[in-house]
Amino acid sequence: MPWSTSAPATIRTARLRLEPLVVADADELVGVLADPALYRVIGGDPPSLDQLRARYAAMVVGRSPDGTEQWLNWIVRLASGGEAVGHLQATVVDHGSRADVAWVVGTPWQGQGYAGEAARALVRRLREVGVRSVTAHVHPDHVASRAVARHAGLTPTADHHDGEQRWLLAPEDPTPE
């Protein structure tokens, strides 16, 4: 699997730094994720600091308890100033051949292309390390996330699961530039 012996590496774009997530990032991200508007389409409520720390503690172990999934997580920071604006994750399966990705950008930073830029960089990195197929699951009513998926090179499929549409960057698709 990609990155199987170490944490994911920092990914840099023109405007962002995607840094491997650590538990201490919860202190900063709790504010980024505090707006209830983030959860209108996807459901749920803003996490408390304790909930976020516990969630990150489980995520940073890097693997599912049964070892079949590798968990890769990044905090998304502005390249200038280092302010946190969101986070990304990739769940890698099938010995590194497939990954499912997700993203969240706080409401003050939405509409500026940060999620699309971060997701595109993540998909590119996954492809560089041998992941052949990348998917995301997007609620059909979440217009912004559909745009992010499209910007990352994914296309919608006819598959739906738990109310979300599956988007795919298939093995034969070129790596997004």
pLDDT, tens digit, 9 for 90 and up, residues 38-92: 998 778 999 999 999 999 999 998 999 999 999 999 999 999 999 999 999 999 9
pLDDT above 50 for 159 = yes
Mean pLDDT of the chain: 91
Cβ–Cβ under 8 Å, residues 113 and 51:
no
- Position of tokens 């980024």? 32
Domain ranges of the chain: 11-169
pLDDT at 7: 57
Helix (H), strand (E) at residue 39: none
Mark 19-30 as b/e (b = at least 16 C-beta within 10 Å). Answer: bbbeeebbeebb
- Position of tokens 């052949």? 132
> Global pTM?
0.91
| Sheet with 84-93, edge to edge strand ranges | 11-12, 16-20, 70-78, 84-93, 98-105, 133-138, 164-169, 155-161
pLDDT above 70 for 4 = no
* Integer Cα distance of 57 and 55 in angstroms: 5
pLDDT, tens digit, 9 for 90 and up, residues 16-28: 999 999 999 999 9
Which class does domain 11-169 fall in?
alpha beta
